[in-house]
Amino acid sequence: MKRIKIKRSSVVLWVLISLLLVMVVVSVSLRREEVVPDELDVRPTPVEIRVVEREAVTDRVRLPGRIEPDIRSRLAVDKGGRVTAVFADKGDKVERDQVLLQLDDRTWRALERQAEVEYRAAQRAWRRWQELAAVDLVSTGEFDRVQTRYERAEAQWDDARIHVEQCVVRSPGDGWINSRWLEVGEYAPEGAAAFEWVVLDPVRVTLDVPERDIQAVERGGELAFEVTAVGPQRFTGTVQRVAVAAAPGNNSFRVEAQAANPGYTLRPGMIATIFFERARRENAVVVPLSAVIPRKGEHFVFVADNERALRRLVRIDRILGAEAILAAGLEPGEELIIEGHRELLDGERIERVNADAGS
């Protein structure tokens, strides 16, 4: 009797398990039916559409660059000596031949005076011998020795004046003092850097151009650029130098352009955005970049066909700002979905919401 009760309990348990499995299968089937196209047919997705056309586009390159001084030079002392005076500091605007720094030149000035005395004496002797030579009272050899002494004294005096002049650091041209490294009382060894002198008008714009774009840049050509730090203003520079060999690290070519900077608006170190034309394409298929969906290394779009969204694989040739030039995947006359496409499924019903969708 006990065995019969156990068997009945087992049968009841198995029946309950079977019923539960049937309910699960039915529930899954119903959920699948909710996702299939019946629901998509009931609720079309509103989208905006644009007819694909071929158009002429200018392929412009946009590259980062940097503002540099047209000339950057370290001004060094020619003679070793103690600094006795400094006449310019960082941030000062200076003019050509302006005295910037003075070294102790007392020893060199003493040698200059000594050389001058010797020169004056040799000059007087040479003039007297000239008078005697005019009446044939001296030999040619004696006259040549006096003349040689005079010329040597003149050269020594010139040399002494040069030594005195080398105790002064002057500005090589109109420009600005960017750095100063010597102080009054400090001993400066020969060749020590005293100032960094820069020219800010014009300025130099430097950029690295990839190898595929370097053919579009040539010496004497113009480059337009903007500098965010100074606001929405467009500047123009003239290409002065183009590297003949690419940098080994990134295969790019260094390009330098010169741009006028009369108001000193542009400062060295500012970041510039440079624009130039790579090429012009007359029959390009151009679409909004936002209409292209990247996924797993590929790109695709949705086109409208009989009020359905069809997924289409495309190949991008080049990106121009907010637009993409397509190399394959779309043909003129097709209707490209440009809004509402992010959540679309292939084959989903759509509803046009833009009035000019068919134009």
Q: Over 80: is that where the pLDDT of 355 sits?
A: no
Are residues 205 and 270 part of one domain? Answer: yes
The answer to whether residue 176 scores a pLDDT higher than 50 is: yes
Residues 209 and 158 grouped into a single domain: no
Residue 6 lies in a domain: yes
Give 359's pLDDT tier (boundaries 50, 70, 90): very low
**Is residue 205 domain-shared with residue 269, that is, in the same domain?**
yes
How far is the first Cα of the chain from the last one, in angstroms, to the nearest whole number?
87
- Considering only CA atoms, which of 44, 311, 87 is closest in space to residue 183? 87
pLDDT of residue 58: 76
- What's the pLDDT band for 2 if we cut at 50, 70, 90? very low
User: 32-36, 84-88, 351-355 — which one is most confidently predicted on average?
Assistant: 84-88
CATH assignment of the domain containing 223: 2.40.30.170
Give percent helix, percent strand, percent coil of the chain, each to the nearest 5: 30, 40, 30
Q: What is the pLDDT of residue 3?
A: 45
pTM (predicted TM-score): 0.63
Q: What is the CATH number of the domain that holds 297?
A: 2.40.420.20
Mean pLDDT, the chain, integer: 85
**Coil, strand or helix at 119:** helix
Q: What is the pLDDT of residues 115-155, one digit of tens each?
A: 999 989 888 888 887 777 777 776 777 777 888 888 899 99
- Residue 232 tokens, joined: 């929405």
Written as one string, the DSSP assignment of 215-272 is GG--TT-EEEEEEGGG-S-EEEEEEEEE-SS--TTT-EEEEEEEE--TT--S-TT-EE
Indicate whether 204 and 259 sit together in one domain: yes
How many residues are given for the chain?
A: 359
Task: Looking at the structure, tell me whether residues 216 and 270 fall in a common domain.
Answer: yes
The dihedrals phi and psi of 317, each to the nearest 5 degrees, come to: -90, -45
| DSSP codes of every residue in 290-345 | GG-EEETTEEEEEEEETTEEEEEEEEEEEEETTEEEEEES--TT-EEEEES-TT--
The amino acid sitting at 301 is V
Are residue 309 and residue 266 in the same domain, yes or no? no
Whether residue 311 sits in one domain with residue 258: no
% of the chain residues with pLDDT over 70: 87
In angstroms, what CA-CA distances link 82 with 1, 163, 344?
Answer: 124, 15, 80
Q: Is residue 173 part of a domain?
A: no
Q: For residue 75, what are its two tokens?
A: 């001004």
What is the mean pLDDT of the segment spanning 316-330? 83
Q: Are residues 308 and 273 in the same domain?
A: no
Confidence of residue 10 (pLDDT cuts 50, 70, 90): low
pLDDT in tens, 20-64: 776 766 565 555 444 444 444 568 888 888 888 888 777 778 899
Q: Let me know if residue 343 belongs to a domain.
A: yes
Range of the structural domain that residue 20 is part of: 2-35
In a domain, 23, yes or no: yes
Verify that 205 and 276 share a domain, yes or no: yes
In a domain, 256, yes or no: yes
- pLDDT bin (cut points 50, 70, 90) of residue 5 is very low
The structural domain count of the chain equals 4
Q: Are residues 211 and 270 in the same domain?
A: yes
pLDDT above 50 for 330: yes
Is 21 part of any domain? yes
What local confidence, expressed as pLDDT, does residue 174 receive?
Answer: 95
Q: Is 200 strand, coil or helix?
A: strand
Average pLDDT (237-251) is 91
Q: Has residue 127 been placed in a domain?
A: yes
Write down the pLDDT at residue 71. Answer: 94
Q: Are residues 212 and 275 in the same domain?
A: yes
The CATH code of the domain that includes 128 is: 1.10.287.470
